[in-house]
Amino acid sequence: MKTLGIGLVGSGFMGRSHAYAFRAADAVFDLPVRPSLEVLADIDDNTAAKAAPSLGFARSTGDWKALIADPAVDLVDITAPNALHKPIALAAIEAGKPVYCEKPLAPNAAEAGQMVDAAERNGVMTAVGFNYLKNPMVALAREIVDSGEIGEIISFRGIHAEDYMADPSAPHTWRLEPAGGHGVVADLGSHIISIARHIAGPITSVVGQIATVVAERPVRPGASETRPVEVDDQARALIRFDNGATGSIEASWVSPGRKMTLAFEITGTKGTIFVDHERMSELQLYTSTGQAAGRQGFKTILAGPEHSVYGAFCPAPGHQLGFNDIKTIEARALMLALADGPPFQPDFREAWEIQRVVDAIVLSARESRWLTVTDI
Amino acid sequence: MKTLGIGLVGSGFMGRSHAYAFRAADAVFDLPVRPSLEVLADIDDNTAAKAAPSLGFARSTGDWKALIADPAVDLVDITAPNALHKPIALAAIEAGKPVYCEKPLAPNAAEAGQMVDAAERNGVMTAVGFNYLKNPMVALAREIVDSGEIGEIISFRGIHAEDYMADPSAPHTWRLEPAGGHGVVADLGSHIISIARHIAGPITSVVGQIATVVAERPVRPGASETRPVEVDDQARALIRFDNGATGSIEASWVSPGRKMTLAFEITGTKGTIFVDHERMSELQLYTSTGQAAGRQGFKTILAGPEHSVYGAFCPAPGHQLGFNDIKTIEARALMLALADGPPFQPDFREAWEIQRVVDAIVLSARESRWLTVTDI
Amino acid sequence: MKTLGIGLVGSGFMGRSHAYAFRAADAVFDLPVRPSLEVLADIDDNTAAKAAPSLGFARSTGDWKALIADPAVDLVDITAPNALHKPIALAAIEAGKPVYCEKPLAPNAAEAGQMVDAAERNGVMTAVGFNYLKNPMVALAREIVDSGEIGEIISFRGIHAEDYMADPSAPHTWRLEPAGGHGVVADLGSHIISIARHIAGPITSVVGQIATVVAERPVRPGASETRPVEVDDQARALIRFDNGATGSIEASWVSPGRKMTLAFEITGTKGTIFVDHERMSELQLYTSTGQAAGRQGFKTILAGPEHSVYGAFCPAPGHQLGFNDIKTIEARALMLALADGPPFQPDFREAWEIQRVVDAIVLSARESRWLTVTDI
Amino acid sequence: MKTLGIGLVGSGFMGRSHAYAFRAADAVFDLPVRPSLEVLADIDDNTAAKAAPSLGFARSTGDWKALIADPAVDLVDITAPNALHKPIALAAIEAGKPVYCEKPLAPNAAEAGQMVDAAERNGVMTAVGFNYLKNPMVALAREIVDSGEIGEIISFRGIHAEDYMADPSAPHTWRLEPAGGHGVVADLGSHIISIARHIAGPITSVVGQIATVVAERPVRPGASETRPVEVDDQARALIRFDNGATGSIEASWVSPGRKMTLAFEITGTKGTIFVDHERMSELQLYTSTGQAAGRQGFKTILAGPEHSVYGAFCPAPGHQLGFNDIKTIEARALMLALADGPPFQPDFREAWEIQRVVDAIVLSARESRWLTVTDI
């Protein structure tokens, strides 16, 4: 069987998650290609060498350029800090190697656009890790919408709220660097935007509202010295879709008690869908037609073998997939695409489209006015 | 014991609900005053006479002016069609009689403002039926916020969605008359705005988005002839509060499957509250402090005797109040106010404030720009 | 219109609830008869006289025999302490007057049987207040079962758990008097048994298990002196139904956090129903047939105008009924029955049947063996 | 690093799940030993050879005896059909090799007891795959109970209901062979019994009730010829624990709509715990103490890094584990035990104890009487 040599840049949480996903995909699915974990790169030789065995990599390096140059590396997988996404991706593209990059692609749409241009000019396959799109319940939502079961979409309400920055004593971090892009609207908001676009199509205009609730944070854990926070930790927008539907987007990382509220409600003319990733193996469905009088209600559909690739994980319904399983499904989709299967989505172009919406929300909020997304 | 002579204008659903509420309040609570259902007025003598016995009224009339003039009538209770709210209220105020009026007070803020002026000039007590404010779980939300248990409010997300107009074959009705005011943003949106203001304080600016999803409707049930719909059936707004918090409001009567989703989430710096009226005897509460590591979570608080006046209905917790019980609590508050107890809220002035937000949302949507509410 | 003269014995919580229910039924429904609250009786003249006005009664007495003898009293309504149920009911029956009695009818099946005999011998209409049977969602469960929508019933699991005796410092009360009958299995268990019989039919045999978790309680609030508890505060039974189905019953008043968990799951060969009174306006329904592949799930049906008499309370679905509304529906059924409408259920005979199951569970538990209910 | 040579017998669903779990455990955790998938055995050479690559095994064989004899095999992992569990396990024990066996160990307690004896006589480590015990939320339930947070346990109610045999046209299968043991009480009931024992301790007596709802099934899919079903498809029992607590157990594989209802409620004198594996990353907790008046309620705790080994899968709470992750945690526990870490539970002895309860329930049901478990 053909193998796919993986070169992974970054051995932090997402790096570990990617390494896991490739190995798990190999164990769960019958794929036409097998992943081979060839090279792990990190900030220096030592760090990389230390992490390589536990992540399952054969070799390691402190130089990501060497990783790209390595002939055994067929896919360059980027989970490095955000600021490195662009240079590494461009170098890989230059070398003609497919790129799998964690989100966000870049700190803003302009830079993401340069990455798209490079990839398309070089005809290089690209993939971006908006993993929740691979949740079978998101796939089911898309399938229900596409089939017309809930009629025409008239509204989309999406939110991604967590609370990992809710504590004002949580220190300043790289996430809060304005040079790295926007705040929660980029970090979490991009996920819900990716779902909105995936299911309801292009977003054409927005009016945004952003807030920085915690205005300064300790420079280090426990430090009395503080540093101002210059990015948003709450964001909202009203949105219009190309198909005429309207809706809203919300993102917050200062929402006490919300641990993984990546939730959306899609209203159609004939029905409604609701999904919340705190119960990510469930989808709530209401249809106006086909229910007898006195027997109408939202149905709770539990993920099972009828939904996407769930059956490869477990033959019985209701047994649930977890966060890492979703990443495993992403790795599968990527390996299939690299083995001449269906193209992987979202690619760099789609990630750029998502980033345009992010940028539009922030700019719109700053200027207190509606903006057309294609003007970004 | 003193009695309070009630004169009710309107014997439709809300009229019946008011009549019920006065009688139920008398049965449930020990009040310093007893309601006496004196006169029922409706469109003509016959209609009024037919309804009076089943609603429990002693007399009836086809002329609401006679009702106001009746010396036995201490309180003028208006549940007549919206277009009549203003003339009846103004006449009652002129006669120096307290007024209890169903929402909406008027089709727009300007007319509502005239009613406020008249009432305040004449020193007449007024009350408006934003009944959900009387739900003990809404009172609990307010209490939790006021006590500081969830810190400073940083976000309010409110929605009132139902589906009674979701079917495009549902005929054109008085609710859709543009002369009667706005559409769902006035009918349902005003409820969630009333809650937002009650708990989080004045709303200072908004940017709205409205949509008319069903563009025309049959002129009568089953008719092939249709009439255009000129009011909104979906509305959303981003909002800013006087206290600096931000948030959003949404209203829809074309939300398939949503029967009574009057729901709100209040995010504070130290906790979160969530209430949904489809389960109106529950409140979800998360607090960042006071929970041990590994034991944190949203708590589902069931309404019980510790909450507001629940105990007058049932001495045991979790046994639930219903829609009519909330109206009964409203009637109680009104009778207490009329017996020199605490003033009733919301009064005409508060209803005018709510209407200003409604108008601002619609105007802002039409002009695609942020508006300052006090400019309305 | 005909009136129905009510004589109520007992002005405690249940007495107040009955008085409320008659008045509310009159306000909510168009009934062929109007309730007239004639006489209230209580332990002595003074107590009765004090309570009468607030409960809305015209007259009062310290002598329940006088109440029965009062010619204006058409219905004797008993909410007196349990020990008085029998003598009052027998006297009313002797006087040929219909009786409406709170549950439990009597401390044991033998005494309940004597009451049944008397009533049937005298041809007197009887009614017992198993109010939850009047919840429209319980009625819906029955309707779904009767219609065959979930096939043949194969299992019934019922529980009634609360926590009002969970605190061991809660003092000894009349509920714990063994002379008054059994403990929680009679107090709460009888409710779930009434539902089991109502929906799944006669219970033929049981094996019970009872426990007294709090073995002694203070004789008074705060007292250091304690008194042994001689009745059960936890009870369970396996049961067999006449129709071949099997199941279980559980009751507890020492279940921390359970405030009104009167819940049941009915399993049929083609579907399942679940209802929990902590969300008493919802019914969960799953049907094996009529759901497309990948679209199967439990449906949450919200109570609405299609269900029983909900529409008389509110024309819109999802707005919820409360505890007192259910009692109002019971009062309506009673008044209809007394106006030559459909006979009221449950009557004394049905209450005796329920009591036989209660007794069988306790005896079976004490003897650690299966018992046939008809042997009781 | 030391490696652990795995010999796996069986390449069906559970075999694949085990192979996955070892690989995933290696990817997720930092373990002192690495799994090496050495030999896969199946019914014949061909079947084994075909499955080996996709399961990741280096070699394959049609002879499980050869697998046991293979010097590279350090652990014999049995996922073969139930009837083979005993002979393979005994042979492995004879060879002095640790055994990891899927449940059920044996068709009855007597045979399971022989396996315990052999293992203990030979000092061989054993492990049985009651995987749900490894769910961090089950571990949390145990931790809460052990810490005394909910006081003394007074009740345990457990159920495992699914619907994979609810359709009467589902054909006869090996699961229904009486020679293979009991029906659903063994297949699903054993899981809930394992949890009951894990958290509440030994079960000392039971009275059971079993039913065969679908009395005959097609011999093959679609066949008109049927074969009688001789095992239970519904089972219930009342139980007594050694510590004085009481409770109930229920199992069903004919419960329409229930896909993975492995649920339990543990009632203590000071609190209550509820877990349902259809939402297996949640635990509901109520504590009587430490909650202010009016703020009491069940808390929904979402699995997160504070709970057991969740953090190795994901650093953020609420992101959820899935069915396979639980099996991965089981593999980890096993590898740790084999590397001189804490002993693995449940071992053969514990599985035998569980089987005794299963047997007692069935025998008790057949004889319609209470049985002492230690008499089995």
User: Which chain A residues are closer than 8 Å to C302 by Cβ?
Assistant: 297
Whole-angstrom CA distances from A130 to A104, A134, A331, B6, C28 are 9, 8, 12, 62, 54
Which of B143, B274, B300 is the best residue to mutate to test the D interface, defined by the most D CB atoms within 10 Å of its own CB?
A: B300
Whole-angstrom CA distances from B114 to A212, B120, B351, C370 are 40, 10, 12, 76
Q: Which one of C248, C256, C296 has the shortest CB-CB distance to D250?
A: C248
Residue pLDDT, tens place only, C91-148:
999 999 999 999 999 999 999 999 999 999 999 999 999 999 999 999 999 999 999 9
Distance from CA of A116 to the nearest CA of B (A): 32
Looking at the predicted structure, is the pLDDT value of residue B174 above 90?
no
Looking at the predicted structure, is the pLDDT value of residue D1 above 80?
no
User: Which chain D residues are closer than 8 Å to A20 by Cβ?
Assistant: 24, 27-28
CA B326 distance to own-chain centroid: 11
B–C: how many Cβ contacts below 8 A?
Answer: 119
Q: Which one of D300, D304, D307 has the shortest CB-CB distance to B298?
A: D300
- The subunits that touch chain C, with at least 3 C-beta pairs less than 8 Å apart, are A, B, D
Residue pLDDT, tens place only, D179-230:
878 899 999 999 999 999 999 999 999 999 999 999 999 999 999 999 999 9
Looking at the predicted structure, is the pLDDT value of residue A176 above 90?
no
- The vertex-C61 CA angle with C60 and C64, nearest 5°, equals 120
Report which secondary-structure segment, H or E, holds B16.
helix B13-28
The token pair that represents B15 in the structure block? 């009229």
Residue pLDDT, tens place only, C11-59:
999 999 999 999 999 999 999 999 999 999 999 999 999 999 989 999 9
Instruction: Determine phi and psi for D157, rounding to 5 degrees.
Output: -120, 120
Q: What is the DSSP letter of D95?
A: T
Residue pLDDT, tens place only, A94-129:
999 999 999 999 999 999 999 999 999 999 999 999
Q: Residue B338 — pLDDT band, cuts 50, 70, 90?
A: very high
Can you give the length of chain D in residues?
376
Give which of D114, D102, D236, D107 is closest to D174, Cα–Cα.
Answer: D107
Looking at the predicted structure, is the pLDDT value of residue B104 above 80?
yes
Looking at the predicted structure, is the pLDDT value of residue B156 above 80?
yes
**Cβ–Cβ gap D306/B294 under 8 Å:** yes
Buried residues in C94-111 as b, exposed as e (16+ CB within 10 A): eeebbbbbbbbbbbbbeb
Q: Residue A179 — pLDDT band, cuts 50, 70, 90?
A: confident
pTM above 0.95, yes or no: yes
Mapped to the 3 state alphabet, what secondary structure does A203-261 carry? EEEEEEEEECCCCEEECCCCCCCEEECCCCCEEEEEEEECCCCEEEEEEECCCCCCCCE
Q: Residue A1 — pLDDT band, cuts 50, 70, 90?
A: confident
User: Which chain A residues are closer than 8 Å to D319 by Cβ?
Assistant: 259-260, 277, 322-323
> Mean per-residue pLDDT for C354-362?
98
Looking at the predicted structure, is the pLDDT value of residue B149 above 80?
yes
Q: Which domains does chain B show, CATH number per domain?
A: 3-131 (3.40.50.720), 132-367 (3.30.360.10)
**Cβ–Cβ gap D296/B300 under 8 Å:** no
Q: What is the DSSP letter of B104?
A: P
User: Which chain B residues are closer than 8 Å to C307 by Cβ?
Assistant: none
What is the per-residue pLDDT for A146? 98
Q: Residue A177 — pLDDT band, cuts 50, 70, 90?
A: confident
The H-assigned helical ranges of chain C are 13-28, 45-55, 64-69, 82-94, 109-122, 136-146, 184-187, 189-200, 310-313, 323-338, 348-367
Whether the CA torsion D51, D55, D59, D65 is positive or negative: it is negative
User: Which chain C residues are closer than 8 Å to D370 by Cβ?
Assistant: 207, 368-369
Give the amino acid at B160: H
Q: Residue D308 — pLDDT band, cuts 50, 70, 90?
A: very high
Give me chain D's average pLDDT, please.
Answer: 96
- The subunits that touch chain B, with at least 3 C-beta pairs less than 8 Å apart, are A, C, D
Coil, strand or helix: which one is A59?
A: strand
> Mean per-residue pLDDT for B208-221?
96
d(CA C9, CA C77): 6
**B96 burial level (CB within 10 Å; 0-12, 13-18, 19+):** exposed
**Cβ–Cβ gap D319/A319 under 8 Å:** no
The token pair that represents B19 in the structure block? 């009549």
**Cβ–Cβ gap A324/D315 under 8 Å:** no
Residues with Cβ within 8 Å of residue B97, at least 6 apart in sequence: B68, B73, B74, B75, B76, B124
Q: Residue with structure tokens 């969300």? A: C279
d(CA C199, CA C195): 6
Among chain A residues, CA nearest to D320: A322
d(CA B340, CA B332): 13
Instruction: Determine phi and psi for A128, rounding to 5 degrees.
Output: -125, 140
**Cβ–Cβ gap D301/B296 under 8 Å:** yes
**Cβ–Cβ gap B295/D299 under 8 Å:** yes
Distance from CA of C296 to the nearest CA of B (A): 17
Which of A156, A167, A238, A265 is the best residue to mutate to test the B interface, defined by the most B CB atoms within 10 Å of its own CB?
A: A238
User: Which chain D residues are closer than 8 Å to C298 by Cβ?
Assistant: 257
The H-assigned helical ranges of B148-213 are 184-187, 189-200
Looking at the predicted structure, is the pLDDT value of residue C275 above 80?
yes
Q: Which one of A20, A26, A325 has the shortest CB-CB distance to D28?
A: A20
**Cβ–Cβ gap C154/D211 under 8 Å:** yes
Q: Which of B169-178, B227-236, D166-175 has the highest mean pLDDT?
A: B227-236
d(CA C92, CA C99): 7
**Cβ–Cβ gap D286/C257 under 8 Å:** yes
**Cβ–Cβ gap A297/C296 under 8 Å:** no
Q: Which residues of D touch B (CB under 8 A)?
A: 140, 285, 291, 293-302, 304, 306-307
Among chain C residues, CA nearest to B316: C259
Q: Which residues of B touch C (CB under 8 A)?
A: 1, 13, 16-17, 19-20, 23-24, 26-28, 30, 53-56, 162, 164, 259-260, 277-281, 302, 304, 313-325
User: Which chain C residues are closer than 8 Å to A285 by Cβ?
Assistant: 295, 297
What is the per-residue pLDDT for D178? 81
Coil, strand or helix: which one is D222?
A: coil
Give which of A247, A245, A244, A225 is closest to A236, Cα–Cα.
Answer: A247
Strands of C126-270 (E only): list them.
126-128, 153-161, 203-211, 216-218, 226-228, 234-241, 246-252, 261-268
Q: Which one of C154, C255, C270 has the shortest CB-CB distance to D234?
A: C154
Give which of C42, C47, C90 is closest to C66, Cα–Cα.
Answer: C42
Number of CB atoms found within 10 A of residue D342's CB: 8
Among chain A residues, CA nearest to C144: A295
Whole-angstrom CA distances from C13 to A287, B23, B311 are 43, 18, 11
Give which of C100, C81, C73 is closest to C89, Cα–Cα.
Answer: C100
What is the per-residue pLDDT for C122? 97
User: Which chain B residues are closer than 8 Å to A150 by Cβ?
Assistant: 256
Strands of A15-172 (E only): list them.
33-41, 59-61, 75-78, 99-101, 126-128, 153-161
Residue pLDDT, tens place only, D58-91:
999 999 999 999 999 999 999 998 889 999 999 9
Q: Residue A8 — pLDDT band, cuts 50, 70, 90?
A: very high
Buried residues in A15-46 as b, exposed as e (16+ CB within 10 A): bbbbbbbbbbbbbbbebebbbbbbbbbbeeee
**Cβ–Cβ gap C285/A301 under 8 Å:** no
- The subunits that touch chain A, with at least 3 C-beta pairs less than 8 Å apart, are B, C, D
d(CA A252, CA A243): 27
Instruction: Determine phi and psi for B174, rounding to 5 degrees.
Output: -60, -25
Whole-angstrom CA distances from D271 to B49, D152, D286 are 57, 9, 5
Distance from CA of C116 to the nearest CA of A (A): 37
Angle of helix A109-122 relative to helix A82-94, nearest 10 degrees, comes to 20
Instruction: Determine phi and psi for D248, rounding to 5 degrees.
Output: -150, 155
Contact A226, A216 (CB under 8 A): yes
Q: Residue C181 — pLDDT band, cuts 50, 70, 90?
A: confident
Instruction: Determine phi and psi for A265, rounding to 5 degrees.
Output: -120, 125
Which of D299, D301, D308, D310 is the best residue to mutate to test the B interface, defined by the most B CB atoms within 10 Å of its own CB?
A: D299
